[in-house]
Amino acid sequence: MRIGIVCPYSWDVPGGVQFHIRDLADYFIRLGHDVSVLAPADDDTPLPPYVVSAGRAVPVPYNGSVARLNFGFLSAARVRRWLHDGAFDVVHVHEPTSPSLGLLTCWAAQGPMVATFHTSNPRSRAMIAAYSILQAALEKISARIAVSEYARRTLVEHLGGDAVVIPNGVDVDFFAKAEPRPEWQGDTIGFIGRIDEPRKGLPVLVRALPKILAARPRTRLLVAGRGDEEAAVESLPAELRSRVEFLGMISDADKARFLRSLDLYIAPNTGGESFGIILVEALSAGAPVLASDLDAFAQVLDQGAAGELFANEDADALAAAAVRLLADPERRAALSERGSVHVRRFDWSTVGADILSVYETVTAGAAAVAADERSGLRARFGLARD
């Protein structure tokens, strides 16, 4: 099958949607399908052979964050050229309501088209205001996927219609088989995310840290991600700042080793999450997880059975839960065991097969419609059957 996948966000700025698309493309390529991904990217960015650049992206405030998107006449021309050259059996657009390549593709594409909705934002005024513009494009979509019930709810409330829920995927074995790094082991708690983005929750974790260290003074907080490291710890007493170690951006291999090394992974995100891919990665690595009680996080963690939850933005609740878990290795081991079983439902062997079934359904439907149209023309003009 010839599959075209559209990434709305800049390929050279890592994020959950980009990782999902990358791994989905890799999964289909391993199965023998012909895959092309269209994505914004700077001209000097090294790209995998299956990625086609749609040009440089610009930062745009979107869904409580800053997304790097690509939109305009030049982008539209590149979309049309990519569609023409690809001659795809199915086109898979991600985030078709964002002002980026997905929306341009919806306007330009013909034939079977699948869309995945990642965003969970039930108070999206922009989406409501843009409804009339979006509707014409969305009507061309053959099938809709939402990565969580909360993303599906946003779609239903603001755009109508419905979607099948298929979660983000993870290569579970990649994380499960990673080797821990000794220097990251021993009384360590961890955080991965953009340091400068408040909704990722690092400020909540930093506020909780003095109480954690008062009870567990040997504990270290390891932080992986880009941002202003000095500003991140400026609220901490000077004598505690050495207990925070910043690792900067880390590779996928090191992320797996990082998660395999921790005593506890903490996800203090405060909102704007429709799924929680980092939680799935942590569970895959066998890390005990403590997360804020966002609806999407609770769903990923099986309502607290596969990882513990604390009240969102409550630094005292985070500290109390972390201290309790760090003092209870049996509880952490039980969470790790339960999480390792639960996370298998997010493996690409399941998620990728579900998405491929959607592709096969829409392409079969398009073939049936084309056959009916040919039959109707033959009957109209008295032509013989093929």
pLDDT tens-digit map of 275-310? 999 999 999 999 999 999 999 999 999 999 999 999
Cα–Cα distance between 73 and 244 in angstroms, integer?
46
Q: Is the pLDDT assigned to residue 342 strictly greater than 60?
A: yes
Q: Is the pLDDT assigned to residue 274 strictly greater than 50?
A: yes
Q: Would you place residue 377 in the very low, low, confident or very high pLDDT band (cuts 50, 70, 90)?
A: very low
**Residue bearing tokens 């049936």:** 368
Q: Would you place residue 156 in the very low, low, confident or very high pLDDT band (cuts 50, 70, 90)?
A: confident
Produce one character per residue of 183-211: b if its CB has 16 or more CB atoms within 10 Å, e if not.
ebeeebbbbbbbbebebbbbbbbbbbbeb
Q: Is the pLDDT assigned to residue 127 strictly greater than 70?
A: no
CATH-assigned architecture of domain 173-344: 3-Layer(aba) Sandwich (3.40)
CA-atom Rg of the chain in angstroms: 23
Q: What are the residues facing 265 on neighbouring strands? A: 190, 289
Q: Is the pLDDT assigned to residue 59 strictly greater than 80?
A: no
Q: Is the pLDDT assigned to residue 128 strictly greater than 90?
A: no
**The CATH number, out of the four listed (3.40.50.2000, 2.40.70.10, 1.20.1080.10, 3.40.50.300), of the domain defined by the range 2-169+347-380:** 3.40.50.2000
Domain boundaries, the chain: 2-169+347-380, 173-344
Contact 79, 32 (CB under 8 A): no
Q: Is the pLDDT assigned to residue 145 strictly greater than 70?
A: yes
Q: What is the pLDDT of residue 139?
A: 86
Contact 37, 21 (CB under 8 A): yes
Contact 100, 307 (CB under 8 A): no
Tokens at 363, concatenated: 């392409």
Q: Which residue has the higher pLDDT, 256 or 372?
A: 256
Q: How many alpha carbons fall within 13 Å on the CB side of residue 250?
A: 17
**Does the fold of domain 173-344 match that of domain 2-169+347-380?**
yes
Cα–Cα distance between 274 and 160 in angstroms, integer?
18
* 8-12, 70-74, 93-97, 195-199: least confidently modelled range: 70-74
Q: Helix H segments across the chain?
A: 16-30, 73-86, 101-108, 125-129, 131-138, 149-159, 172-176, 202-215, 229-232, 252-261, 277-284, 295-300, 315-326, 329-342, 348-381
Q: What is the pLDDT of residue 273?
A: 87
